[in-house]
Amino acid sequence: QVVGGKVKKPGKRGRKPAKIDLKAKLERSRQSARECRARKKLRYQYLEELVSSRERAICALREELEMYKQWCMAMDQGKIPSEIKALLTGEELGKAQQNSTKLAKAGKTEANSSDL
């Protein structure tokens, strides 16, 4: 086709690629790579924190489970642990029970907060 004295090639539509400055293109590429590495580093830090909080929660729950196992073994032998007596009578709990309750709550709180 001839338009205004110039010959146009068929099939070439849209913007013509501008001559991009090679240095600018390389700098944009480097900057993009830096940002990608930073995002990756943050993602891994977040995942490591998540794993460690879950591990702490698991440890707390294992300690609580062990305490309950010991209570069950004591009750099988006909002994009633003082913590259970205190629960049944409504008295203040002993230090061991308070600590185990705190650990259990901490584990549950960490597990719930990390789900967010």
Please write the tens of the pLDDT for every residue from 41-86.
999 999 999 999 999 999 999 999 999 999 999 999 988 888 888 8
Q: Is residue 11 part of a domain?
A: no
Cβ 103 vs Cβ 64: under 8 Å: yes
- Reported as a pLDDT band with limits 50, 70 and 90, residue 34 is very high
Residue 103 structure tokens: 């650990």
What residues are paired with 7 via a beta bridge?
2
Q: Is residue 70 part of a domain?
A: yes
Kindly tell me the burial class for residue 86, based on how many C-beta atoms sit within 10 Å of its own C-beta (0-12, 13-18, 19 or more): middle
- Reported as a pLDDT band with limits 50, 70 and 90, residue 93 is very low
Q: Is residue 59 part of a domain?
A: yes
Q: Is residue 43 part of a domain?
A: yes
Q: Is residue 53 part of a domain?
A: yes
The mean per-residue pLDDT over the stretch 10-31 comes to 76
**Distance from C-alpha of 72 to C-alpha of 74, rounded to nearest angstrom:** 5
Instruction: Look at residue 22 in the predicted model and tell me its pLDDT.
Output: 86
Q: What's the structural domain count of the chain?
A: 1
Q: Is residue 102 part of a domain?
A: no
Find the domain containing 57 and state its range.
22-88
Q: Is residue 115 part of a domain?
A: no
